[in-house]
Amino acid sequence: MGFVELVRFAIGALRGHRLRTALSVAGVAVGIAAVVSLTALGEGARQYVVQEFSSLGTNLLIVIPGRVETTGMLPFGGTTNDLTLEDYRALASRIPLVVAAAPLATGTEVVRAAGRSRSVPIMGTTADLARVRRLEVASGRYLTPGDPDRGGSEVVLGSKVARELFGAASPLGQVVRIGDWRFRVVGVLAPRGHSLGFDFDDIVYVPVRTAMRMFNRASLFRILVEVRSERELRQGKQAVLDLLAARHRVEDVTVITQDAVVSTFNSVFDVLTLALVAIASVSLTVAGVGIMNVMLVAVAERRREIGLLKALGASTRQVLGVFIAEASVLSSLGGLIGLAAGWLAVRAFVQVYPTFPAAAPSWAVAASLAVAVGVGIVFGAVPARRAARLDPVQALVGR
């Protein structure tokens, strides 16, 4: 009996018990659909986080005041130095690997214009932030380049702030009040949307020195540094640490590389995806047990058929192949239906949340099919061996 005849015989036998066949196929389909859907969600979450961090800029170093590492003692009795504009100027001018740097001073204040007001985050920075963060200006211009100590009274509005304060009218050249300070609008940013839980359209940009005076601060919140290439991130990080350690006379800052953050999240989501696959695989195991039970019942009900096959000259190997083929057809059909169901579920999820890049990785699809066939072979082996060992005479008389 060739392979094609074997498959046809198995399909014909399964048609005789359609309800049992449908239930077994459904069990495998549910397991495969769960694996595909959960791996798609895990992979989508990983890609989403990577895209969010990539949107922060490229080849980025984030300089944070204070050390996050645990050490045996605190330097100089635990005192640390704040990040200052002088530190920013040193990083921007004294490290050849640095192509751009932007200081950040942040706070929240009430913005008033055209009889309207709302509380928004205020970002004090310089013109270089537009390059570091890949900001696009929809109208007007960004902050004026120049000495960060100069301050100034110009302001750039996020698209949401501009819309809520001025409606359809152009805010360019208009005066807005931020707290007790007066500013003139010089630009409006293009819509950027949410990133890492932060709404970039709902923010106001002012010169860094002005923001520090506005919030009565002498230090910076962060310094963003862009190096020339991704390969120079580690070298740039060490150069930043060395320079600030020399200026502060102690290593009292933390430098986070963009690739390190992305790598960490990749590792976390890889583990999460594997955990989701393991959980979903439990249903495949249950489906496999169901296939085995169905095949055991089939062996008991088809004893005379088995005896007739062996009496007509079918070998033990051929009888074994018949029942393993039936189990394999069950699991393979369930696997294909499960893949289709999982794909449809993922597509429906993406339609509801279009910004979430959910897609089942190719390895998950291939592994799901392989596991589906494997489930049929493994769990069909015991019933198949029982059928193959039946004595033809006893099987024909129904003993």
If you average pLDDT over residues 60-68, what whole number do you get? 83
Task: Give the per-residue pLDDT at 120.
Answer: 93
> Which residues are CB-contacts of 362 (< 8 A; sequence separation ≥ 6)?
none
> Which range scores top for mean pLDDT: 68-82, 91-105, 355-369?
91-105
String of b and e for 383-394 (b: at least 16 CB within 10 Å)?
Answer: bbebbbebebee
Q: Cα–Cα distances in Å, from 335 out to 104, 349, 352, 371, 396?
A: 53, 21, 26, 9, 35
Task: Give the per-residue pLDDT at 230.
Answer: 79
Gap between the Cα atoms of 53 and 55, Å rounded: 5
Q: Over 70: is that where the pLDDT of 248 sits? A: yes
Task: Give the per-residue pLDDT at 99.
Answer: 92
Which tens digits make up the pLDDT trace of 110-164? 999 988 999 999 999 999 999 888 889 999 999 999 888 888 899 999 999 999 9
* Higher pLDDT pick, 199 / 391: 199
Task: Give the per-residue pLDDT at 322.
Answer: 73
Task: Give the per-residue pLDDT at 78.
Answer: 45
Confidence of residue 73 (pLDDT cuts 50, 70, 90): very low
Report residue 244 as tokens.
Answer: 């600030």
Task: Give the per-residue pLDDT at 13.
Answer: 59
3-state secondary structure of 214: helix
Q: Cα–Cα distances in Å, from 356 out to 9, 85, 193, 364?
A: 45, 38, 14, 19
> What ranges make up the beta strands (E) of the chain?
60-65, 98-113, 116-125, 137-140, 154-157, 175-178, 181-189, 194-195, 198-199, 204-207, 222-227, 253-257
List the single range of 44-48, 119-123, 351-355 with lowest mean pLDDT: 44-48
Domain residue spans of the chain: 3-52+263-396, 81-249
Q: Over 60: is that where the pLDDT of 69 sits? A: no
Quick one: 313 exposed, middle or buried, by C-beta within 10 A (0-12, 13-18, 19+)? exposed
What percentage of the chain exceeds 90 in pLDDT? 30
- Among candidates 230, 231, 229, 251, which has minimal Cα distance to 240? 251
Cβ atoms of 110 and 117 closer than 8 Å: yes
DSSP letter assigned to residue 139: E
Task: Give the per-residue pLDDT at 76.
Answer: 43
If you average pLDDT over residues 230-241, what whole number do you get? 89
If you average pLDDT over residues 334-341, what whole number do you get? 87
List the single range of 82-86, 310-314, 381-385 with lowest mean pLDDT: 310-314
List the single range of 133-142, 179-188, 251-260, 344-353 with lowest mean pLDDT: 251-260
* Higher pLDDT pick, 264 / 69: 264
Task: Give the per-residue pLDDT at 163.
Answer: 92
